[in-house]
Structure 1
Amino acid sequence: MKVNFYTSNREYIEKKNEFDRAIQAVVEKGNFILGEQVAQLEKDIEKYTGAKYAIGVASGTDALIIASDVLGFKDGKEVITSPFTFLASTSCITKHRGKPVFVDIDEDTFGIDVSKIEERVNENTVGILPIHLFDQMTDMDKIMDIANRHKLKVLEDAAEAFGMRWKGNSETYRHSGTIGDFGVYSFFPTKTLGGYGDGGMIVTNDEDLAKKVKSLRVHGASKKYHYDYIGYNSRLDTLQASILSVKLKYIDEAIKKREEIADLYKERLADCEFIRLPKVKGEQKQVYYVFNILAEKRDELAEYLKQNEIGYSIYYPMPLHLQKCFEYLGYKKGDFPVAERVSKQILALPIYPEITAEEVEFVCETIKKFYRK
């Protein structure tokens, strides 16, 4: 049995008429740049997440870069973040000549170890960039407490966290991205809310921050050919917005299906002593964008899955502090031992709403067969 790590084909076939009508409406009208579908999606994201302002941009990476610019994560100022994440979570700081300051990750969640953040704060620190990864949010109560006491800006990288909600010590659940000064989402095809190409969005509850982002995404213009800033060319494509609007209607159903798949994985792998799953910390609602395991003999297992035509991915095989592009920061092997250890064991299994129970059963049985060899 072949099991794809991800495929968009099943979802497209299932909702083909809706997708085709949405795309055709854009093509027939010909308003491809910041068309009405972009504005409508922004309103729908505001309604769904509770954010006061949502601004569509060209990608999740651009969302991070623009938000970092606005918050002053640049010119030698320090921003505390995790070394165990995708490049864009840190390159958005260095793009503006800011200085990323890493702290190690939590052994159980694989997210930033919030207990280590405050010791890295100094007079040059301007912000914290928590990343909501591995199906759960960072402890935003502790993040915001540190930020408020030290007058720091907070940029939530919620690229993989659309739909996740944090309660913590609050009375209500708050959506990822809506707690800090800015939050960003990615609409890369594999994401929980993913398009058929690149796309991203910045959310905030601050009107002034929102106005600046809206200007920066169109070269820094306040109106056509009148420029207040040196900005960017970063606009969410109208065709992508039309596709995302279709998907957003079914997002809660998709999240529920992901949870059911994750539960099946947990049940079938519970008796496998060579597998460990991340633990959830804090009062929150998860979203299973990926399903990660820590596996003994990870590389050998990955090769065995490949031989059996099972897709997988490794998020992430090398922490950022050991990447060549960040050598200049002066970190060395051993500086963040938890991140380094997890990077050698972590493995992501196939999960998306359209995967079948039979496929999940096959993946789990193949894993257990590998360890019985």
Structure 2
Amino acid sequence: MITQAPIQMVDLKTQYLRLKTDIDEAMQQVLLNGDFINGSFVRQFQQDLAAFLDVERVVTCANGTDALQLAMMALDLKPGDEVIVPAFTYVATAEVIALLGLTPVWADVDPDTFNLTAENVQAVLTPRTKAIVPVHLFGQCADMEPLLHLASANGLAIIEDTAQAIGSIYRFADGTERMAGTIGDIGCTSFFPSKNLGCYGDGGALMTNDTGLGERLRIVANHGQRQKYIHERVGVNSRLDTLQAAVLSVKLPHLPDFSRRRQEAAARYDEWLGNVPGLRIPVRAAASTHVFHQYTLKVEGDQRDALKSHLQQAGIPAMVYYPMAMHQQPAYRRDEYPAGSFPVSEALCRQVLSLPMHTEMDEAEQEYIAAKVIEFFNAE
């Protein structure tokens, strides 16, 4: 049976109440210390996140979009350079490319995992290509090993967008494991409140195993200065404030538990929805764990919008991530990319539907959601 409380896509309040004592204490400490900018919690969180991810350097910043921009600036990409991104992604991935005067080049995605593949990237490579941005969409890594080989053979940088997959683990063919965001040249993440590791405002971070690159990232994020008032590079002002770092410092040790809770909720959805005709549950990539930032169904035929309406009428929120492929967005539309250019991405925009997913999922609530999904298909 459905609970009395309204069903939410993400339940941040209940998670906060579970961690309230520690979060309140950490935030109170910031208020008492008055170190709101680059305070002790920022420095400690950077160290703790680097240790958690087993990466050489973490540089925090103001948000995930800034992280992507900082990565491209630190790599010295120049106007006209081409950067390959998925056609099926959130706009931030392409937005910073355009803002820096670079050229976004779209690539289609895998129909099962929704992520970039080396084959699709190879198909759009040109002599002007300088970087690839694999987006680890919905909670699992793109197949990074072939992408690394492709990048190495062509002298390309890899910027991982791991805003939806922090905590996910990628397995190489030889059994080696690496955390999402630590595989390419630079990893970028967001701490937007609804993310798997989220703060209570905006926040972001970059990860790298290249010490020199890590220092460039730090400089670019701080007005291009290493020494105050001496500006070595063109930079920006992008900081994670100390209050948000305090929240993240409390949450970080809970991230494995957050992932486990999401995986358990996904397994319950799988059990109830795995054999529904006309519906496909999320596919798990063989080389990556899935931390389920979203639990995203593929709805066959033209039934997606009708299913979404059916769920809304039953008090169940469901979201479409994303309703339009990047090459079809008005701001990024170009003549060389007519409709049909990226058939998988375009089809996904008509098929995907994400169900409520968060760390506080109630089993009875999930069962109600699944029952309403099944009810829709039984009525067809």
> Would you say the 8 A contact 1:75–1:96 is kept in 2?
yes
User: 2:156 matched to which residue of 1?
Assistant: 152
Residue 30 (1) aligns with residue 45 (2): no
Equivalent position amino acid for 1:313 in 2: M
Q: Distance in 2 between matches of 1:150 and 1:282?
A: 26
User: 2:63 matched to which residue of 1?
Assistant: 59
> Would you say the 8 A contact 2:185–2:209 is kept in 1?
yes
Equivalent position amino acid for 1:321 in 2: H
Q: TM-score, normalised by structure 2?
A: 0.96
Residue 302 (1) aligns with residue 283 (2): no
Residue 231 (1) aligns with residue 235 (2): yes
User: 1:170 matched to which residue of 2?
Assistant: 174
Q: Deviations over 1:98-148 (max 9, x none)?
A: 111111111111112321212322221111111111321111110000000
- Runs of 4+, deviation exceeding 4 Å: none
Q: Distance in 1 between matches of 2:163 and 2:174?
A: 23
> Would you say the 8 A contact 1:58–1:234 is kept in 2?
yes
Q: Distance in 2 between matches of 1:288 and 1:89?
A: 20
Q: Secondary structure at the match of 1:15?
A: helix
Equivalent position amino acid for 1:299 in 2: D
Q: Deviations over 1:286-305 (max 9, x none)?
A: 21111000124111111111
What is the correspondence of 1:13-92 to structure 2 with a 5 Å cutoff?
A: 13-92=17-96
1:182 to 182, 186, 209: 186
1:277 to 275, 281, 286: 281
Q: Between 272-281 and 359-368, report the one with greater CA deviation.
A: 272-281
> Would you say the 8 A contact 1:290–1:348 is kept in 2?
yes
Q: Closer, same or farther in 2 for the Cα pair 1:327/1:35, shift >3 Å?
A: same
Cα offset, 1:60, TM superposition? 0.5
User: 1:354 matched to which residue of 2?
Assistant: 360
> Would you say the 8 A contact 2:81–2:129 is kept in 1?
yes
Q: Between 26-35 and 327-336, report the one with greater CA deviation.
A: 327-336
CA RMSD in angstroms comes to 1.2
Matched residues, number: 373
User: 1:286 matched to which residue of 2?
Assistant: 290
What is the correspondence of 1:122-133 to structure 2 with a 5 Å cutoff?
A: 122-133=126-137
Cα offset, 1:329, TM superposition? 6.5
1:312 to 299, 303, 318: 318
Cα offset, 1:225, TM superposition? 1.6
Cα offset, 1:171, TM superposition? 2.8
User: 1:266 matched to which residue of 2?
Assistant: 270
Q: Between 71-80 and 129-138, report the one with greater CA deviation.
A: 71-80
Q: Distance in 2 between matches of 1:55 and 1:329?
A: 38
Q: TM-score, normalised by structure 1?
A: 0.97
Residue 193 (1) aligns with residue 193 (2): no
Q: Between 66-75 and 262-271, report the one with greater CA deviation.
A: 66-75
Q: Deviations over 1:190-248 (max 9, x none)?
A: 11101111100000011111111111111111122221122111001110000011111
Structure 1 residue ranges without an equivalent (≥5): none
